[in-house]
Structure 1
């Protein structure tokens, strides 16, 4: 049985992104209820909203770029960089989970989702590590390490 590391990695990133989309809600919940995203954020200044949205866009865009790169790139340098990226995201997810637990009002379904996302991240770390260590096939099918 061959390991399709790239397919597994892409699937895990997509599952992670869907979970993050649900967790952050990206302003979709107010829209579903006919409210303006800006109206739902009255307690926050527009500058804070803008900064948070840019950070969220970056957090979301980096895995999207990793998915695209994983489809088209399998060289050793990219595999190492990608593995480092998955570790970085796992650290961020753990920090996010801890910070969510420290909130005055814990929302347990969000905590549960963050635990699931953290575990998905650990699985992504494992598969990315296996891919990083796997031999590289050249265009003729020969193995190179």
Structure 2
């Protein structure tokens, strides 16, 4: 049975991005319409909002790049870097859940979505780790095959 780690990783990143988009839209749409938003700190000017938007763009672009690179690269080095990225996102999602619990009033639909995204991230960690191990297993199998046919 062939396990397609790259396809699983791409599907999980896309799922994560769709959830992140939904989470972002729930929080940002009021800002775009000049309505008050429940947040832990208020933006005092358009520059504050602009900075947040750049950070959010970066947070969104890294998984997009991970999807592209995963589709085209299989090197051991890339797999390790990719695994580190998945762990970083899991830590960030856990911190996000914790911080969202301090926003008043607590928006439970947002917390539920973030918990789901955190779980998707943990699954992504697992599959990315298995993808790293696959490289080692393939190298060992190739060494055994080469020795047997020498």
Q: TM-score, normalised by structure 1?
A: 0.85
Match for residue 84 of structure 1? 84
**Counterparts of 2:7 and 2:13, CA distance in 1:** 10
Change over 3 Å in CA distance of 1:50–1:28 after alignment to 2: closer
**Counterparts of 2:84 and 2:28, CA distance in 1:** 31
Equivalent runs, 1:86-105 vs 2, <5 Å: 86-105=86-105
Change over 3 Å in CA distance of 1:75–1:5 after alignment to 2: same
Match for residue 13 of structure 1? 13
Match of 1:16, SS state, is: helix
Structure 1: runs of 5+ lacking an equivalent: 31-35
How many residues get paired?
A: 136
Q: Residues 27 and 37 of structure 1 are in contact (CA less than 8 Å); yes or no, is this contact kept in structure 2?
A: no
**Counterparts of 2:131 and 2:47, CA distance in 1:** 41
Change over 3 Å in CA distance of 1:143–1:25 after alignment to 2: farther
Shift of 1:64: 0.2
Match for residue 33 of structure 1? none
Match for residue 72 of structure 1? 72
Q: TM-score, normalised by structure 2?
A: 0.82
**Counterparts of 1:22 and 1:65, CA distance in 2:** 20
- The worse-fitting range, judged by mean Cα deviation, of 116-125 and 38-47 is 38-47
Match for residue 135 of structure 1? 135
Change over 3 Å in CA distance of 1:41–1:57 after alignment to 2: farther
Structure 1 segments of 4+ aligned residues over 4 angstroms from their partners? none
Correspondence 1:39 to 2:38: no
Shift of 1:29: 3.7
**Counterparts of 2:49 and 2:36, CA distance in 1:** 8
Higher-Rg member (1/2): 2
**Counterparts of 1:131 and 1:26, CA distance in 2:** 34
CA RMSD after TM alignment: 2.4
**Counterparts of 2:104 and 2:114, CA distance in 1:** 17
Shift of 1:119: 0.2
Match for residue 123 of structure 2? 123
